[in-house]
Amino acid sequence: MTTLQELSPSARRIADAAQVLVQQVGYNGFSFEHISKLVGMRKASIHHHFASKVDLGVTVAQRYTHQFNDALRHILTSVKLAPQRLQAYADLFETTFLNDHHLCVCGMLGAESNSLDAAVNQEVRHFFQLNLAWITDVIEEGLASGSLKSPHSALVLAETLLSLLEGAMLVGRSMSAPLGPRRIGDVFLSSLIV
């Protein structure tokens, strides 16, 4: 399989189209035929870049995780206090959601995990592990500095925040409501701020 750094411009266009489709209709809701129409390539050309849908799914999940990790690093270097870092984290979900009610790529893939190949599921788990570790570290820092207060462990709070944000996207889309992750993040943070 091609590494992320080795993706050709055509492969990136294919992966971009697949990401949008995952966010709109889920992994099981599209085929190479759909991608062919979106990018204007024959299916054989798509198979030249991605031998199987599993290869494409792995690449989409890896790219999304890599891009999300870059955003997390940016938050750490540009935002100093834990409460504001957590708000910036919630804003990542809000930005995705405001794009025509798109959902988190790995949230969508996670919802379909029972029908996905193990290689795709492994990448989805990696995304969630990375996020939980990051949120846990930020919350631990906030609890230690006194900028956050809770009787719960940082890990429990991290799991709660991640679940709330993913769920807010899903419920917001299902109800065609602008109830998005930002508001849910605000409510969660208000319970932790001293």
Count how many residues are written for the chain.
194
Q: Are 87 and 94 in contact (CB under 8 A)?
A: no
**Per-residue model confidence (pLDDT) at position 180:** 80
In order of 9, 17, 76, 134, 162, the CA distances from 53 in angstroms are 18, 13, 35, 30, 28
pTM attached to this predicted model: 0.92
pLDDT at 3 over 70: no
- Confidence band (pLDDT; 50, 70, 90) for 74? very high
Residue with tokens 């708000």: 87
CA distance 106 to 114: 14
Residue 101 binned pLDDT confidence (cut-offs 50, 70, 90): confident
Check whether 172 has a pLDDT greater than 90.
Answer: no
Residue pair 53/29 in contact by the 8 Å Cβ criterion: no
Structural domain 53-191, CATH architecture = Orthogonal Bundle (1.10)
* pLDDT of the residue at 174: 86
Q: Give the residue-averaged pLDDT of 127-141.
A: 98
Mean pLDDT score of the chain, rounded to an integer? 94
115 Cβ contact partners less than 8 Å away, ≥ 6 residues apart? 28
DSSP string, 81-106: SHHHHHHHHHHHHHHHHHTTT---HH
Sequence spans of domains, the chain = 53-191
What's the rounded Cα separation, in Å, for the pair 50 and 71? 27
177 has pLDDT over 90? no
Q: Are 93 and 188 in contact (CB under 8 A)?
A: no
